[in-house]
Amino acid sequence: MILRARQRRLELGRRPLLMGILNATPDSFSDGRGEEPVEVRLARGRALVAAGADIIDVGGESARGDRPAVAADVEIERVETLVGALARDGALVSVDTYKPAVAEAAIAAGAAIVNDVSGLRDPALAELCARTGAALVLMHTAVEPKGTLLDPATYADVVADVVAFLRSRMALAREAGVAAEQLILDPGPDFAKTPAQTVAVLRRLDAVLALGRPVLLAASRKDFVGAITGRAPADRDPGTLAALGLGVDAGASILRVHDVAGAADYFAVRAVLRGERVLEPLEGLTPERYPDGAPPHLALG
């Protein structure tokens, strides 16, 4: 499957792409870093690339429902410099925003993907992506941005609701001029869903994939993982890997993660054990790994 993101044309499916999360906010639910100088955030973004991130998703507003919305100019100030620096490095950059003004500033700075967690509530975002060629992530949610909804009775059939919503958002984007190859679908784990509803959707990713566009799985450190494991957000990376593995088996193409290095290692080992990559007999082994002296077959001449 092809994804077009401005000047880039990506062929998806050979392996999952890792989208590293770069929060430029003081109130992220997952890390609680507080205020940081832009240089520190930029260093974190570059470290994500070095760890194996294929995409860097820069966000200037927390999705937490217990925090007020951020003004567009404040959000632009938080993300613009980071997006520009990472794009100049050659990174493929996504901007996590539902505000057209923020998306436009980020695209001008070099972003190639708009990750819209509002479910395209403002059609101007689609018009912007149509004009610039930026890829557009369409996410399922039943509430306004910053809203919360945890009600077991919300959906008669949560999977059917997700599929119908995403189909309608795809049609809206296409009517605005967005090409099919620019669209990415996100079933919205935890957004207006109880943990059980999220699990129901993730068990039926095939229904979302049947819409014909690549699926982004944003399961990292989410509340459904916490509900299963009893872990706080910062301790949910092992549980996240289970969700990612299932998602890739179902066909997810892009994985939005906090722990890029851990996810990269997980999928590297998985690929070798599944026979998808061949490990050469001495690949990765060096005498320095043996403090008591290298085995004879690795001794340096």
Rounded to the nearest integer, the mean pLDDT of the chain is 91
Q: What is the pLDDT of residues 148-199, one digit of tens each?
A: 777 788 899 999 999 999 999 999 999 999 999 999 999 999 999 999 999 9
- Give yes or no for residue 298 having a pLDDT over 60: no
What tokens were used for 245?
Answer: 């593995």
What tokens were used for 297?
Answer: 């077959």
**Eight-class DSSP state of 92:** E
Write down the pLDDT at residue 19.
98
Q: What is the pLDDT of residues 102-148, one digit of tens each?
A: 999 999 999 999 999 999 999 999 999 999 999 999 999 988 886 77
What is the value of pTM for the model shown?
A: 0.91
Catalytic residue among 41, 146, 236, 256: 256
In the three-class reduction of DSSP (H, G, I as helix; E, B as strand; rest coil), residue 26 is classed as coil
Cα 105–Cα 72–Cα 224 angle in degrees, nearest 5: 100
193 classed as catalytic:
no
Give the position of tokens 């520009």: 84
Confidence of residue 288 (pLDDT cuts 50, 70, 90): low
Write down the pLDDT at residue 39.
93
Q: Where do the domains of the chain lie?
A: 2-298
8 classed as catalytic:
no
Catalytic residue among 169, 193, 221, 222: 222
- Give yes or no for residue 289 having a pLDDT over 90: no
Cα–Cα distance, 199 to 176 (Å, whole number): 32
What tokens were used for 110?
Answer: 């070099």
Cβ–Cβ < 8 Å for 193, 201 = yes
Cβ–Cβ < 8 Å for 191, 116 = no
Q: From 182, 173, 169, select the one nearest 139 (Cα to Cα).
A: 169
CATH classification (class only), 2-298: alpha beta
